[in-house]
Amino acid sequence: MTEEKFDAIVVGAGMAGNAAAYTMASRGLKVLQLERGEYPGSKNVQGAILYANMLETIIPDFREDAPLERHLVEQRFWLMDDTSHTGMHYRSDDFNEPTPNRYTIIRAQFDKWFSRKVRAAGAIVLCETTVTELARDARGKVIGVHTDRAGGIRADVVVLAEGVNGLLGTRAGFRKVPKPEAVALAVKEMHFLPEEVIAERFGLTGDQGCVIEAAGTISRGMAGLGFLYTNKESISLGIGCLVSHFAASLESPYALLDAFKDHPSIRPLIAGSEIKEYAAHLIPEGGFKAIPQLFGDGWVVVGDAAQLNNAVHREGSNLAMTSGRIAGEAIATIKSRKRPMTRDNLSLYKSMLDKSFVVGDLRKYKDMPALLHTNSRNFFITYPRLLSQAAQNFVRVDGTPKIEKERATKAAFIKARSRWGLISDAVRLALAWR
């Protein structure tokens, strides 16, 4: 162990770690942040949408120099079958007043920018340094970390912001390995196109952006989603499904991505693009019921490592930033009261987090993961196909009397799910959603 001691060590320089390190350093704490990647963002994979409000709470003037790609004016939700999509679009610049509500970002650039802010706030950031183990005293209290480079380092508290795998927390016995039904595996590609081509294809001007989120037969009956986000000169495109469903179906994630790209609704949007980047990453999907113990003697856990991810709204980075900020504020408060970083005192972090939208939103959707996991074929194959047939029946003009068309649509739903099945699906969905 080195002699030098820090107020806090933050493991990981992703969204959660940067928010925690920035919050503590800007409140005058002596902070060391350790990141295993070559630079912050080098190991990170995200679509990616940045939710401005949560960053604004941490760095109010972030728009002055943050590497933002496009501000979003349009969100499309698609239910896809093999050849079509039925969709809902929301488009408005109103929800970007007075300042844009959400942006697309490229994590490799964004995390580097965030890390510069962390350093400017006074934290020491060491990259290419993997924390291999937590250092503990005879009573089990965390008193620092061991690394592959700098040996052992002491701190009053360790903030675990190590992302979804959370190996350190698992090894220390603070949490269990996430169950396969509580994590999704997502694969993503970056497709490069000239800025004006992207603008024309999506009906955008200036730095306006568009997002498509898609569910349906593209995930072949597994619980999953496809996504397409417009950046300035690239499109992030990917698909993710529950690991438990991949394991049971033996589907290949990249075959799924290829099929998604080849879908008639997606193909024209990326035609002629140059693919420059592939990535694969896990996403926590277990929701409220998968949240592990969040604090203990000398440690707290934030972000994906704490499974704080809202799969229904596809929000992760904002929960990560907010939990990091709240952990930082709680630690700074305990420090200012000159109290030790014990389990009892660090429970302040949990009580603050419980009052935030982070836990509130996850609690609201607490039954959603189990519903989608156990009914995935109905929600991701049967209903998208039925809706697509119904939509086509509605818009096709072929001389068939409308009453007959309506009867045919109704009969198709009852044949596929039975009256009781339809009612029970609707009730279960409503209960899980409320």
- Interface with ligand FAD (CB under 6 A), residue from 22, 23, 32, 47: 47
Least CB distance to ligand FAD at residue 333 (A): 22
**Among the listed residues 47, 81, 392, the one whose alpha carbon sits nearest the alpha carbon of residue 263:** 81
- Interface with ligand FAD (CB under 6 A), residue from 287, 303, 328, 369: 303
Q: Which residues pair with 235 in a beta bridge?
A: 191, 230
DSSP codes of every residue in 7-71 = EEEEE--SHHHHHHHHHHHHTT--EEEE-SSSSTTTT-----EEEHHHHHHH-TTGGGT--EEEE
Instruction: Match 């990535």 to its residue by tokens.
Output: 279
Query: Which tokens go with 36?
Result: 């295993």
Query: Which tokens go with 402?
Result: 């409308």
Q: Residues touching ligand FAD: how many (CB under 6 A)?
A: 39
32 vs 387, beta carbon nearer ligand FAD: 32
103 vs 379, beta carbon nearer ligand FAD: 103
116 vs 417, beta carbon nearer ligand FAD: 116
- Interface with ligand FAD (CB under 6 A), residue from 162, 181, 285, 361: 162
Least CB distance to ligand FAD at residue 74 (A): 15
**Among the listed residues 149, 147, 148, the one whose alpha carbon sits nearest the alpha carbon of residue 158:** 147
Kindly state whether residue 74 participates in binding ligand FAD, applying the rule CB under 6 A.
no
350 vs 385, beta carbon nearer ligand FAD: 350
**Among the listed residues 327, 307, 318, 353, the one whose alpha carbon sits nearest the alpha carbon of residue 31:** 327
Kindly state whether residue 209 participates in binding ligand FAD, applying the rule CB under 6 A.
no
7 vs 304, beta carbon nearer ligand FAD: 304
316 vs 369, beta carbon nearer ligand FAD: 316
CA separation, residue 161 to residues 11, 16, 317, 319, 320 (Å): 5, 6, 12, 12, 9
- Interface with ligand FAD (CB under 6 A), residue from 161, 242, 326, 330: 161
Sign of CA pseudo-dihedral 32, 20, 39, 36: positive
Least CB distance to ligand FAD at residue 316 (A): 2
Applying CB under 6 A, the span of 1-9, 56-64, 201-209, 317-325 interacting with ligand FAD comes to: 317-325
For ligand FAD, what does the binding mask look like between residues 2 and 41, x meaning CB under 6 A? ---------xxxxxxx----------------xxxx----
- Interface with ligand FAD (CB under 6 A), residue from 100, 144, 163, 178: 163
Least CB distance to ligand FAD at residue 53 (A): 12
Least CB distance to ligand FAD at residue 18 (A): 7
**Among the listed residues 327, 326, 291, 296, the one whose alpha carbon sits nearest the alpha carbon of residue 309:** 291
Strands 5-11 and 31-34: parallel
Strands 152-160 and 5-11: parallel
Rounded Cα distance between 161 and 152, Å, is 18
Q: Can you state the percent helix, strand and coil of the chain, rounding each to 5?
A: 45, 25, 30
With both helix axes pointing from N to C terminus, report the angle between 343-354 and 357-364 in degrees, rounded to the nearest 10: 70
DSSP codes of every residue in 255-296 = HHHHHHHHSTTTHHHHTT-EEEEEEEEEEE--GGGG----EE
181 vs 285, beta carbon nearer ligand FAD: 285
Rounded Cα distance between 242 and 204, Å, is 33
Applying CB under 6 A, the span of 92-100, 157-165, 363-371, 418-426 interacting with ligand FAD comes to: 157-165
Least CB distance to ligand FAD at residue 20 (A): 9
Kindly state whether residue 45 participates in binding ligand FAD, applying the rule CB under 6 A.
yes
231 vs 309, beta carbon nearer ligand FAD: 309
- Interface with ligand FAD (CB under 6 A), residue from 85, 117, 175, 188: 188
For ligand FAD, what does the binding mask look like between residues 220 and 259, x meaning CB under 6 A? ------------------x---------------------
Chain positions 96 to 135 lying near ligand FAD, rule: CB under 6 A, are 130-131
Helix (H) / strand (E) element for 111: namely helix 107-120
Residue type, 344: D
Give contact residues for ligand FAD (rule: CB under 6 A): 11-17, 34-37, 43-49, 130-131, 161-163, 168, 186, 188, 238, 281, 283, 303-305, 309, 314-318, 320
